[in-house]
Amino acid sequence: MTDGANPLDETLRARIAVGGPLTVAEFMATALAHPRHGYYMRADPFGDAGDFVTAPEVSQMFGELIGLWLAVGWQAMGAPARVRLVEIGPGRGTLMADALRAVATVPELRAAVEIHLVETSPLLRDIQRARLGDAVAAWHDDLASVPEGPILLIANELFDALPIHQFMRTDAGWRERLVDIAPGGDGFRFVLARDPTPAVALLPPEIADAPPGSVAEISPAAIGLAHEIARRIAAFDGRALIVDYASKRGALGDTLQAVRRHGRHEVLDAPGEADLSARVDFAMLARVAAEAGARAFGPINQGDFLLALGIEARAAALAGQADERQRADIAEALARLVSPGAMGTLFKVLALAPRGAPAPEGFAEAMP
């Protein structure tokens, strides 16, 4: 149940009263990105004082190694004299700040990069501006407004926050899950559409015969973004690195979740006051990238990726300049980032490159 003081309640109720139940994607988009009351618009959600901690906030090592990965990718591109370094969903700017510290060790690359951040939250833009200062060439509301050309792109914990449509397999076929006002008008509830909705057409054919009761998820927003990233790489050259929660079952499974104050939260309760996310179908991202002319490598475990890039050596170097307490913190951060059961296996990494490009650093082969 929601409490009556939640500012998005009336907005959502009014939309449902006029147009009927909302898709999960519409509910999710409003809860996260409403201009005044959306989750990412109203507060800084990151870190111990927020609702969740991302890998860049765990340790500088994460962003530094990504910076080195970008440098190797730039060299594989032939070291173009100008390249756009783009991060979509840059949070506090922590990852970019750490990556730039590593990029600065290759002066030619630092001189070549033009930094563009894709961020819709004015609050987070201010935080990024305070951290990165004049290093950023421009902020954008979407990737489409970033000038075209050779590109190095990062998306860390971005795709899991893109709105999804959910469906349930019934005896009559797939029916979309919708959000309606709960009986008595107190809060919201899930219902099923009586007839097939247009989004059903996006479900992959391999799940057509899933048993009744199965739940499937699809994100048109993720499909569109992956296509645009891959199109740019195919047309202008580039490399992209996508790090996120992974779905083990492709489109099947109910993975929608809410997190508030580092704990689980009811998905439909207090919209705008909790983070909403769903696990990412990396196989789908790879298929879309291939259709757009690029090549996908991975996904591999975050832990394997970071170990291949030398995170243990970086941790040892930092520990060599640290006191006893700092050494313990470094060891804890290393374990959190790479260990099975922690971020090491919970998160996966996918890389995109042009067709015919060699495997990027840390990756062995392309997806079939």
Binned at pLDDT 50, 70 and 90, residue 3 comes out as very low
Query: Whole-prediction pTM value?
Result: 0.93
Q: Is the pLDDT of residue 31 over 90?
A: yes
Task: Answer whether 88's CB lies under 8 Å from 161's CB.
Answer: no
Phi and psi at 67, nearest 5°, equal -60, -40
pLDDT in tens, 138-159: 999 999 999 999 999 999 999 9
For the domain made up of 41-163+218-354, the CATH class stated in words is alpha beta
pLDDT digits (tens, 9 = 90+) for 295-351: 999 999 999 999 999 999 999 999 999 999 999 999 999 999 999 989 999 999 999
Nearest residue to 78 via CA among 237, 296, 309, 241 = 237
- DSSP assignment, residue 280? B
For residue 1, the model assigns a pLDDT of 38
Whether residue 40 has pLDDT greater than 90: no
pLDDT at 185: 75
pLDDT in tens, 267-302: 999 898 888 999 999 999 999 999 999 999 999 999
**Letter for the amino acid at 147?**
P
Burial label for 148, CB within 10 Å (0-12, 13-18, 19+), is: exposed
Q: What pLDDT score does 328 carry?
A: 96
pLDDT tens across 65-109, in order? 999 999 999 999 999 999 999 999 999 999 999 999 999 999 999
According to DSSP, residue 353 is labeled: E
Q: What percent of the chain has pLDDT over 70?
A: 95
Contact between 218 and 164 (Cβ < 8 Å): yes
Residues 125-138: pLDDT tens digits? 999 999 999 999 99
CA separation for the pair 174, 214 (Å, rounded): 9
Each residue of 20-42: b (16+ CB within 10 Å) or e? Answer: ebbbbbbbbbbbbbbeebbbbbe
Q: Give pLDDT, residue 334.
A: 97
pLDDT at 200 over 80: yes
Q: Report pLDDT for 263.
A: 76
355 neighbors 367 (Cβ within 8 angstroms) = no
- Residue 368 clears pLDDT 70, i.e. is over it: no
Residue 209 predicted with pLDDT over 90? no
pLDDT score of 144: 96
E strand segments, the chain = 22-23, 83-88, 113-118, 136-140, 151-156, 165-170, 173-181, 188-192, 215-218, 238-245, 257-260, 263-265, 275-277, 294-301, 347-354
Q: Specify the pLDDT at position 51.
A: 64
Domain residue ranges of the chain, discontinuous segments joined by +: 41-163+218-354
What is the pLDDT at residue 41? 84
What is the number of other CB atoms lying within 10 angstroms of the CB of residue 368?
6
pLDDT at 46 over 90: no
**List of residues 6+ apart from 301 with CB closer than 8 A:** 344, 345, 347, 348, 349
pLDDT grade for 43, boundaries at 50, 70 and 90: confident
Torsion 39-45-50-51 (CA) sign = positive
